[in-house]
Structure 1
Amino acid sequence: MIRKVAVLGAGVMGAQIAAHLVNARVPVLLFDLAASEGPRNGIALAAIERLKKLKPAPFGTNDDAKYLVAANYDDDLDRLAGCDLVIEAIAERLDWKHGLYEKVAPFLSDTAIFASNTSGLSITALADGFASALKGRFCGVHFFNPPRYMHLVELIPTADTRADIVDALETFLTRALGKGVVRAKDTPNFIANRVGVFSILATITRAAQYGLGFDVVDDLTGSRLGRAKSATFRTADVVGLDTLAHVVKTMQDGLPDDPFAAAYATPALLRALVDNGALGQKSGAGFYRKIGRDIHVLDTAAGGAGAPGAYRAASGKADELVVRILKRPLPERLRLLRESTHPQARFLWAIFRDVFHYVAVHLEAIADGASDVDLALRWGFGWEQGPFEIWQAAGWTQLAGWIAEDIAAGHALSAVPLPRWVTEGPVAERGGVHDASGSYSPARGEFVARSTLPVYARQVFRAPLFGAAPAEDAASDPARYGRTVFENAGARIWTDDADGGDVLVISFRSKMNTIGPEVLEALRKGVELAEAGFDGLLVWQTTSLKAGVPGGPFSAGANLEAAMPLFMTKGAAGVEPFVADFQQTMLRIKYAQVPVVAAISGIALGGGCELALHVARRVAHFESYLGLVEIGVGLVPAGGGLKEAAIAAAETAARYDGKRLLDFLTPRFTAAATAKVSTSAHEARQMGYLQPSDRVVFNVYELLDAGRREVRALAAGDYRPPLPAVRIPVAGRSAIATIRSQLVNMRDGRFISEHDYRVASRIAEVICGGDVEPGTLVDEHWLLALERRAFVELLGTAKTQERIMSLLQGGKPARN
């Protein structure tokens, strides 16, 4: 049991690892050198303050920084005795690390796990000089930057690391911190950086070979290939070109006899950029440079790498012919890329082939099996599929033949042939490295099943691997799993008979899980069915397990597109029945005779947030982003969100003197009027979208299991719905006037537009209960009627219609 952790080193990575441990409610000591001036813990304290300013935010809420305890190596080493896990995260210098280890080792508990967050140094070399007992408790634990958001953690044992220690650490990382753990062998840069950086180097080489600009390459190698939107060179800028150069140098130093050693040479342009201080995003210039509001890209023809004159407007795009090829099914796609004479197509085939070649040659050396490579690239670099998955999906045998032909023709980055296991034996017979029995391990010469540690029993659906299950196998497909009880175009209601069949689950089928008429019908049907013979209903979306990096969306809100036909034929008033239907469905959920629980991950915006507000309980992944954002499209929340805000404020005020209602309404009004979205589940709690009783889950793969457990727990406690809210005190017209006076100042100061003022005024009218005396008692239906009227009135305005059309056509509402 890991109850307390120490992090040694308050630099960028160490401080952010400590912050995420605090997010997970693990007590942390953050160590660094003793300051020569000021407070002795000044260096660590300054690092904690810097964490509050970082974007993306390391903390779920900056208030949590107070839980991070600063310490120093001179005064506080005796406090290490109370730590169950100690993570070293200082600079990548073997001699510095050894010096620190010698200093801290005498203070470690006899049972503490000791780990290094090195990104590529030898774990065995780091353990050199340890007593045998400490060697058995030492390993590598490589977080990816930023640690809060990156799902991957590589776990690297040595030959001396005890198996129970590795299992315990994997369990902690998976369960408490929500990470996807991959075990790597102790080789330079381990798995993800080894393959990912090779891919970047190959991309740089092939881009130069085919004369492609960096902006063109990024347009080709981002989302079009199922990879991170930042693609290749933008990713390098974000990571830091000095960091990239360091990882490349590690490969050069550690792999002199590698058959791909020539490909590890630091590109001259990368060296020039680093030498000129153009380190990427942190220095303001790298492969890209922001000039005003415009993004410019490095133009190698202009010379002077990193100098302002060496950049041009970033406008390069993939050719339409290549775009069409990339939309074809994968086997045809790779064939067309290989056969094409178009330089962009030839470039793409080359980088695919180079990575396939590389991972096949090095699989045995860097990983226990092919699954570790695929998951490492997905979780660490944002690929939707790993390299072996792509190869297998495109046709293993045919691609192996093409790769072998290119190697023989001298087109590859190395003359080393493909290993025999690629074309002979069980892999060739089964058509790839993944099947139902596991993933291929060259070291063992067999397919090896995935880990069976107890922590994975909570993952109903583990991260999928292409080929690991037949296409017709519904048992591994969340969209088809279990027994379907009801379905329509908007949602599927199902239950898992193997798990007792006592909980109904509803999963939406709409784009971004938006809520339209079919989803509303399914929600009402789900409540009806649950009341007739189940413990309760769980709202859980299969998109929480999306390919690549998991998580969300729960729901992007009401389906405005589905309401447009009503609007076009009957005007704004024609949409009122849809709004009323939405409201009544929310009430049906709130007052259901069995518990309805929402399992939330990713965005829960607008109507999605309102759905979450009406359920009996919420189970939220830490990375959950809730908010009432309707003002962005010129509307008010009309699914009961403002009604619930008014009720919550009244209940809170009643616990005090009952006279400060406006004080408790104001934060909720502000959140809706500014479309504020929580940056984490912890902040959602502060904003009132989650309650203290709602559970926060860190591993998104456990969300379904946690949700079903919550339904069962409520049912076992003889759940009863709340009594209808029939006497709600509202703030009335005086509070509306107070809020409007502040809005006038914002409008006249040009902080908000005239239409923003109009919409925000309507939000104030609803949340304050309308034009009534302060303290007037109303019921839920009164507040819902105010929501509906405001919604329909605003929908009839030209400005709101402009915003909605802009959203539907271009993905963003107009700012008018």
Structure 2
Amino acid sequence: LTGLSKSGRVVEDTGLSRLIDLGDGVLCFEFRSKMNTMGEGLLNGLESAIAKISRGGYAGLVIGNEDPRTFSAGADLSLVSFAVSAGAWDDIALSCQAFQDAMMSIRRAPFPVVVAPAGMALGGGTEITLHADRVQAHAELYMGLVEAGVGLIPGGGGTKELLMRFTSELSNYEEIDYFAAVKRAFKLIAFATTSTSASEARALGFLREADRISYNRDHQLSDAKQRVLDLAPGYLPPIVRTVRALGREGMGNLEYALWAAKEAGQASAHDVRVGRATAYVLCGGDGTPREVSEQDLLDLEREQFLSLLGTKETQERIAYTLKTGKPLRN
């Protein structure tokens, strides 16, 4: 990307991101923020890139960078902490909505989007990967929805996407199998499970069988570009999906697992609260079983994210992590 930018292939540069022409009608959206975190400016750049390609003349988009350690560390917690301190709750809600909208723009784009993560792809870095048509991962990949460590749940569609993915893989809708798929998503999120390689990310379910792994980092972006070109002819965006939500019964089963973890000394009271918020989204609330849309789940995600952010314990976790780089168990 550095060589391409020096040769005049930069299409847009916001300072926080660059849109670079990879050739053959494929553009690359490159993060350039600190730790490649995703704030308002970077998300605006992403929306602009998607709009530009949507107007025609391009085959598709690669999202990637050449950072040696970090694809994306997710949301900028310092901005979140500052907004909380200022009591800017309306702004926080709008930012959460904007992040969800950007992720869904990736999913609904009328052209193929291939994400190329390498190194750390945490929190929002995982969510952006989950919404792509395909992933071209580097073999060294530390990937996971780690929001529980700071007392939050994934707020950018990660909870929704794991539920949709794992339940869609079922060959039947037997109740026991369906709950197992929900519980699989729950455990990944509630325990902030992180892969130590791309192969493990596939085994955990963050990557699909159709996603590919590059073992040479120097070839990863060109591999991702080729995936876009392979997908572009006759491309159609994914269909709008619904999913069966288990409601109160599913909630009860997951709450029992949380209670058992607390009794065994493996979870604090706030861990249980965060886990319950995760379960609430995955079960479509605590009402009767029903069909829910992607937007229904996104609304629940945002509601629970903001509710947790308003708690003293979550704010303490965020402050501690910003100060030490480590999670606080409170």
The structure, 1 or 2, with the larger RCO (C-alpha pairs under 8 Å, 6+ apart) is 2
Q: Aligned match of 2:297 in 778, 783, 797?
A: 783
Question: Larger radius of gyration, structure 1 or 2?
Answer: 1
The runs of 5 or more residues in structure 1 that have no matched partner are 1-460, 462-473, 547-551
In 1, are the aligned partners of 2:120 and 2:143 still within 8 Å (CA)?
yes
Q: Offset at 1:770?
A: 0.9
Q: Aligned match of 1:490 in 12, 16, 40?
A: 16
The runs of 5 or more residues in structure 2 that have no matched partner are none
1:673 aligns with 2:197: no
Between the aligned residues of both structures, percent identity stands at 37
Q: Tell me the amino acid that sits aligned with residue 798 of structure 1.
A: K
* Structure 1 CA distance for aligned equivalents of residues 194 and 116 of structure 2: 18
Structure 1 541/481 Cα, relative in aligned 2: closer, same or farther at 3 Å?
farther
Q: Aligned match of 1:747 in 262, 272, 296?
A: 262
Matches within 5 A, 1:180-191: none
1:719 aligns with 2:235: yes
Matched with 2:109 is 592
* Structure 2 CA distance for aligned equivalents of residues 491 and 629 of structure 1: 24
Structure 1 479/687 Cα, relative in aligned 2: closer, same or farther at 3 Å?
farther
3-state SS, counterpart of residue 117 of structure 2: strand
Matched with 1:734 is 249
Q: Aligned match of 2:315 in 780, 797, 801?
A: 801
* Structure 2 CA distance for aligned equivalents of residues 646 and 731 of structure 1: 11
Matched with 2:61 is 537
Q: Aligned match of 1:692 in 209, 217, 234?
A: 209
Q: Offset at 1:765?
A: 0.8
Report Cα offsets for 1:263-309 as digits up to 9, x if no partner.
xxxxxxxxxxxxxxxxxxxxxxxxxxxxxxxxxxxxxxxxxxxxxxx
* Structure 2 CA distance for aligned equivalents of residues 607 and 778 of structure 1: 23
Q: Tell me the amino acid that sits aligned with residue 247 of structure 2.
A: G
* Structure 2 CA distance for aligned equivalents of residues 636 and 571 of structure 1: 20
Q: Offset at 1:570?
A: 2.8
**How many corresponding residue pairs?**
328
Matched with 1:637 is 154
Report Cα offsets for 1:29-73 as digits up to 9, x if no partner.
xxxxxxxxxxxxxxxxxxxxxxxxxxxxxxxxxxxxxxxxxxxxx
Structure 1 553/480 Cα, relative in aligned 2: closer, same or farther at 3 Å?
farther
* Structure 2 CA distance for aligned equivalents of residues 522 and 495 of structure 1: 15
Q: Offset at 1:540?
A: 1.1
In 2, are the aligned partners of 1:485 and 1:494 still within 8 Å (CA)?
yes
- When normalised by structure 1's length, the TM-score is 0.39
Matched with 1:280 is none
Q: Tell me the amino acid that sits aligned with residue 96 of structure 2.
A: V
Q: Offset at 1:658?
A: 4.2
1:525 aligns with 2:48: yes
Q: Tell me the amino acid that sits aligned with residue 60 of structure 2.
A: G
Q: Tell me the amino acid that sits aligned with residue 648 of structure 1.
A: R
In 1, are the aligned partners of 2:137 and 2:213 still within 8 Å (CA)?
yes
Matches within 5 A, 1:32-43: none
* Structure 2 CA distance for aligned equivalents of residues 682 and 698 of structure 1: 11
Matched with 1:664 is 181
**Structure 1 residue runs of 4+, over 4 Å off?**
478-482
Report Cα offsets for 1:241-277 as digits up to 9, x if no partner.
xxxxxxxxxxxxxxxxxxxxxxxxxxxxxxxxxxxxx
In 1, are the aligned partners of 2:147 and 2:153 still within 8 Å (CA)?
yes
1:516 aligns with 2:46: no
3-state SS, counterpart of residue 159 of structure 2: helix
3-state SS, counterpart of residue 140 of structure 2: strand
Matched with 1:504 is 27
* Structure 1 CA distance for aligned equivalents of residues 285 and 166 of structure 2: 15
3-state SS, counterpart of residue 208 of structure 2: coil
Superposed CA RMSD in Å reads 1.6
Q: Aligned match of 2:272 in 740, 757, 761?
A: 757
In 2, are the aligned partners of 1:573 and 1:792 still within 8 Å (CA)?
no
Matched with 1:682 is 199
- When normalised by structure 2's length, the TM-score is 0.95
Matched with 1:264 is none
Q: Which moved more, 1:737-746 or 1:559-568?
A: 559-568
Structure 1 711/482 Cα, relative in aligned 2: closer, same or farther at 3 Å?
farther
* Structure 1 CA distance for aligned equivalents of residues 6 and 275 of structure 2: 43
Q: Tell me the amino acid that sits aligned with residue 794 of structure 1.
A: L
In 1, are the aligned partners of 2:10 and 2:18 still within 8 Å (CA)?
yes
Q: Tell me the amino acid that sits aligned with residue 15 of structure 2.
A: A
* Structure 1 CA distance for aligned equivalents of residues 41 and 327 of structure 2: 25
1:622 aligns with 2:139: yes
Q: Offset at 1:572?
A: 4.2
Matches within 5 A, 1:101-116: none
Q: Offset at 1:730?
A: 1.2
Q: Tell me the amino acid that sits aligned with residue 781 of structure 1.
A: Q
* Structure 1 CA distance for aligned equivalents of residues 89 and 316 of structure 2: 14
Structure 1 480/539 Cα, relative in aligned 2: closer, same or farther at 3 Å?
farther
In 1, are the aligned partners of 2:59 and 2:112 still within 8 Å (CA)?
yes
* Structure 1 CA distance for aligned equivalents of residues 259 and 178 of structure 2: 22
Report Cα offsets for 1:353-397 as digits up to 9, x if no partner.
xxxxxxxxxxxxxxxxxxxxxxxxxxxxxxxxxxxxxxxxxxxxx
